[in-house]
Structure 1
Amino acid sequence: MTSGFDFSPGAQVPLTGSDGETGATQALSSVAYRDSAMTTLVEINEDTKIKGPRLSLFEPNLGEAWSRAITVRMLGAARGELVQSFGIEPQTVVEHCLAANRIRQERDTRLTVLMGVFGVLFLPGVLLWLGAFQLRKSLASARAGGKRYGVLGGAVLAVTVVLAALFAIRPPFSGFWQLYFRIMMIAPVIGWFWAKRICERTAKDLRDRWGGLAGGSGVAAKIPEAVPRNPNQVRAEKLRQALVKLGTEQASNVVFYAGGTKGILGMGSRWGSWHMAEELVPAEGVTDINPFRSWDVIRAIHDRLRMLERTPLHTGGFTKPSIRHWVVVQTTEKAGKISRPTGTEVEGYTVKDFEIQRICNTQQFGKGNRHYLGIQFTLWDGNLVITLMTTVTVLAHTLRVDVTAHALGPINGLFTSGPSAKTKTVSKPVKFWETKSVNLPLIDSTEVVRLAARAPLTWFPSILDHLGGTLTLPEPFGLRHTWAEKLWPHRFMADDALRAATPVLRAVHAAAIQVMAENGVDTSHFTSRSSGLSGAVQDAAPKKADVYDA
């Protein structure tokens, strides 16, 4: 598919360090630096799939799996279409994933050198230690799951440890091989000590970034590899183009309606719907109505919505909203992907103005995409996105003005949680009936071995994915709506969503009635209907606008 966007070198450079746009952006960015288990994402969205590891020693943690999945899904050459992420800056999140990968790559380069020295010269000893740690990790999983491994696994682990000790203390050879087998079991321990220092330094850096982003402070994502310095840097140029393409798709004016439970992808489900439909009758003393089109009404509504920030009182008021013309495409509720419109009417994922006007005036009945005018408020640092969509249709002698309300709730609390110190509660040595909290090392021995074992394979990500497992993101994928929670349990957010509907509805009706009055339409029926809806919109509870009793 050709997007129609100019990806020529030198025209655009991705901006780094643009963090701090919203709290939601920083919270999602912080996941790239986390060291917790990736299974926590499944608890948030059950459509998230995890392919289990073939060897648990190569299994990635949350930050590693997230960074890999996000960069492939959002920057990969063969990636599918993305859903817009309203309320956040997806490019910033992706930049942090690239920055986290870069920090880990620098660590893995050092670990690969260590593994090259000790793994090549003392390969049998390294393999014995890796086997012992793999069995230990498998036994830990068996105790958690209660099925895998058993007494046999414990016996094999004990035999392995005993053999390692015998090789170190009394090797079964003499001469050169006696010295080699003794060093063979000691050298990996020395390498482990160096590797631990490398891992601890990187882990502290990653955790500092995690805490800074989750806490709301601005942490810059440094990705110099995304800025080509000469024409021969093909990889950097491709990465730059992928980031530009991501920003272009985010700016698209095409959205997808996916049924009752999902609503408009990226905007949330539809919780309210109000309709004003009356007959077009000439006003008293007017022979015939002056012809006008749906676009004339929509344009007047657009101008009226821009005035919502003004208020006769010096108190509160709306923040500046985003007002855009949207092309809404219908898709199925269980669709695994989306497909954006293409053709001469589309440029850089954005439908051109003349085509939007044509859709507004002609595609009101039957097949085809539909036009909506949307006003969107992004509140609570990006954790609340309120969108009200307006469409005007004229069928026969009836003019209908529809206003629908969509709300996207806050992202899950997992993304806003900061790093906590690793501690363990133990009994006091003397007063054994009392307990105390003991700080644990930031990186334990099993984690050092896991990182050292993965390090050489990070240069071959497909092999690492095969051995360690992968994270598959829900489709159709969008960074914001995928992890959103329900809005209504949050009292103040719910109040904001409900309060926004009334003034927007009244502004839409006032603009539509004004256009009709200027063109000789009897507006008495419309005014009466508008007054009724103005009272109905103040109902205290949201409705399931997309659930039909049929």
Structure 2
Amino acid sequence: MTVDGGYADIFGPQVPRMAGEGQTATYALASAAYRDNPYGDIKKADNEWHQTDVKPGRAWAKIFRPNLGEAFSRAVVDRMLGGGRKPLIQSFGAEPQVVVEHCLAANNIRKARDRMLSGIMVVCGVLFLPGLLLWLLVFTLRTTIVRRDEKRGGALGSVLLAAAGALAVLFLLKMPFTGFWAWYARASVLMPVAGWFWAKQVCERTARDLRERWDSLLAGGSVGAKVPEAVPTSPSETQAEQLRQALAKLSAEQQSNSVFYAGPKGILGMGTRWGSWQLAEDLVAADPSREIHPFRSWDVIRSIHDQLRMLERGTLNTGGFPKASIRHWVVTPVAEGAKAVSRPEGTDVEAYQVKPHAIQDICNKQQFGSGDRHYLGVQWTLWDGQLIITMLITVTVLHETLRIEVTGHALGPVNGLFHEKPEAPSKEVTKSFKPWETRKVKLPLVDTDEVVRLAVRAPITWYPPLLNWLGGTMGLPEPFGLRHAWADQPWRHRFMADDALRAATPVLRVVHAAAFKVLKENGVDTEKFGARSSALSGAVQDPAPRKADTYDA
């Protein structure tokens, strides 16, 4: 039995669903779930319209701060699968369900690590609390010294640890207690240190696993996201069934034909509008003795829709256009600074899809004043999902004037932050006998401070609100969609810009030819339309990207 959630069987073995071949954007976004950078680095990926809200937490509790992968995974899962979540923006050129599944898988890996670390903290720390607190104080002082003085802080920190170790040895040799308390004091000094070595092994094993997944995704996505809790094994597993339904709901919303126009931001998920070409002329009968045969905007749109399917065909074998996605869109206007959107509801909507008869009514009737509008869109997903080109066509008839408008939208590549591959920790040091030369020294995959941070965080990861309050959280840009939130402009990439600009001319000509065919069939004089089309056809041959939604008024 096949289900929408992407698995082969509801109650059978799990078969993870992977994204399509070459989905670079999907894998780049998914790789963020496994990263160990500082979580403040996400600000580097912000664009002109969408900024991530990085909340720092308590100043005195820096040890509880998450890294990028921890904050990203939790934020994405909570936003996209949480109960009562707000509507999402479609991620054109990416598969959000795959990204969410990787976030869930990364959370599972970290939960397994935190369970181990929590046990270590109880056995080696909580039972010997005085020693644990003293060692934590030493590590906190060391971290503070290193941060305040980058040049000499490392050496001073090492001296502090060495001094603490010497005092610990002296304390063990010259024990001021006898009997039970003497043995407890010795254990309080030694057990936190033994626990640290044990925790270091656990942390390094997990870090190696996460980094391998991070690298594999950026190399082509050979690693799958394993989310067994999303596959119910019996009808009584309500939590697993709820998660499966949430993933299915996410996929259904991704296929919605409802989008949102946010002023200068353009259509959310499709990018800003960079070009606009309008043809508007009066409807005059070709034969003055006969009236124009009545037709509607939908008749013109349907003809354009049929002709756009021929874009991938050409007389010359030169490659040309790949297969495009041609869809009818219902566009809802929202404020530029809107923090949430609301999808159409009612009897005309089913599974986030506006029904065909409702789309036809919007096309024919809602051309002036408030309400949703209809657009016919032809969309190409290029560069392995890194470039989304969308040409939108709308036809309106007001009084005796027919207007055909073609607009170009482009969404650029995912920010370069998401394409950075993991690098082995290292530092440059001066050679002993050649001070004018330097060499690279490999550092441990997980350093001392990171082991302490993970061990201290582990016991409270079961209660995320407290952990978020102490260490901080990541607030995703709203209205949220995985793809457009961290997209760059395509105009900085020469070939991407060329692809976007080249699509305008053939689309415009096909739209005009299809519209003229309907006009002629219904007895309309197309002479003025033809003259206007020729002028536009000449102008579109030298298009330049601009902010078409920024009006200087």
TM-score, normalized by length of structure 2?
0.93
1:223 is aligned, of 227, 246, 252, to: 227
Deviates more, 1:120-129 or 1:490-499: 120-129
**Counterpart for residue 26 of structure 1:** 27
Structure-to-structure mapping, 1:340-379, within 5 angstroms: 340-379=343-382
- CA–CA distance in 1 between the matches of 2:231 and 2:134? 44
**Counterpart for residue 306 of structure 1:** 309
Matched, 1:117 2:123: yes
Query: Helix, strand or coil for the counterpart of 1:256?
Result: strand
Report how far residue 70 of structure 1 moved.
0.4
**Counterpart for residue 273 of structure 1:** 276
Report how far residue 407 of structure 1 moved.
0.2
- CA–CA distance in 1 between the matches of 2:67 and 2:161? 25
- CA–CA distance in 2 between the matches of 1:322 and 1:310? 15
Structure 2 counterpart of 1:295, one-letter code: W
- CA–CA distance in 2 between the matches of 1:210 and 1:224? 20
**Counterpart for residue 382 of structure 1:** 385
**Counterpart for residue 53 of structure 1:** 57
Residues 19 and 218, structure 1, Cα contact 8 Å, conserved in 2: no
- CA–CA distance in 2 between the matches of 1:402 and 1:15? 46
Residues 277 and 398, structure 1, Cα contact 8 Å, conserved in 2: yes
- CA–CA distance in 2 between the matches of 1:135 and 1:109? 27
1:465 is aligned, of 453, 468, 476, to: 468
**Counterpart for residue 394 of structure 1:** 397
Structure 1 counterpart of 2:446, one-letter code: I
Residues 16 and 92, structure 1, Cα contact 8 Å, conserved in 2: no
Query: Helix, strand or coil for the counterpart of 2:276?
Result: strand
Query: Unpaired segments of 5 or more residues in structure 2?
Result: none
**Counterpart for residue 134 of structure 1:** 140
Query: Helix, strand or coil for the counterpart of 1:335?
Result: coil
Structure 2 counterpart of 1:175, one-letter code: G
Matched, 1:242 2:243: no
- CA–CA distance in 2 between the matches of 1:478 and 1:403? 25
Report how far residue 197 of structure 1 moved.
0.9
Report how far residue 133 of structure 1 moved.
2.1
**Counterpart for residue 213 of structure 2:** 209
Structure 2 counterpart of 1:457, one-letter code: I
Matched, 1:188 2:192: yes
Query: Helix, strand or coil for the counterpart of 1:88?
Result: coil
TM-score, normalized by length of structure 1?
0.93
Residues 31 and 415, structure 1, Cα contact 8 Å, conserved in 2: yes
Query: Unpaired segments of 5 or more residues in structure 1?
Result: none
Deviates more, 1:127-136 or 1:156-165: 156-165
Identity %: 60
Residue 68 and residue 167 in structure 1: after superposition, are their counterparts in 2 closer, same or farther (change >3 A)? farther
1:337 is aligned, of 312, 327, 340, to: 340
- CA–CA distance in 2 between the matches of 1:154 and 1:432? 22
Residues 132 and 157, structure 1, Cα contact 8 Å, conserved in 2: yes
- CA–CA distance in 1 between the matches of 2:332 and 2:56? 36
Give CA deviations for 1:396-425 in whole Å, capped at 9, x if unaligned. 000100000000011111111100111111
Report how far residue 131 of structure 1 moved.
2.7
Give CA deviations for 1:102-129 in whole Å, capped at 9, x if unaligned. 1111111111111121123212111222
**Counterpart for residue 42 of structure 1:** 43
Give CA deviations for 1:491-518 in whole Å, capped at 9, x if unaligned. 0000000001111111111111100100
- CA–CA distance in 2 between the matches of 1:199 and 1:154? 22
Residues 124 and 194, structure 2, Cα contact 8 Å, conserved in 1: no
Query: Helix, strand or coil for the counterpart of 1:403?
Result: strand
Residue 252 and residue 125 in structure 1: after superposition, are their counterparts in 2 closer, same or farther (change >3 A)? same
2:321 is aligned, of 298, 318, 322, to: 318
Structure 2 counterpart of 1:174, one-letter code: T
**Counterpart for residue 490 of structure 1:** 493
Structure 2 counterpart of 1:115, one-letter code: M
Report how far residue 528 of structure 1 moved.
1.0
**Counterpart for residue 548 of structure 1:** 551
Residues 4 and 248, structure 2, Cα contact 8 Å, conserved in 1: no
Structure 2 counterpart of 1:26, one-letter code: Y
Report how far residue 531 of structure 1 moved.
1.0
Structure 1 counterpart of 2:450, one-letter code: E
Matched, 1:507 2:515: no
Deviates more, 1:267-276 or 1:110-119: 110-119
Alignment RMSD, CA only? 2.4
2:110 is aligned, of 72, 95, 104, to: 104
**Counterpart for residue 87 of structure 1:** 93
Deviates more, 1:424-433 or 1:438-447: 424-433
- CA–CA distance in 2 between the matches of 1:449 and 1:314? 63
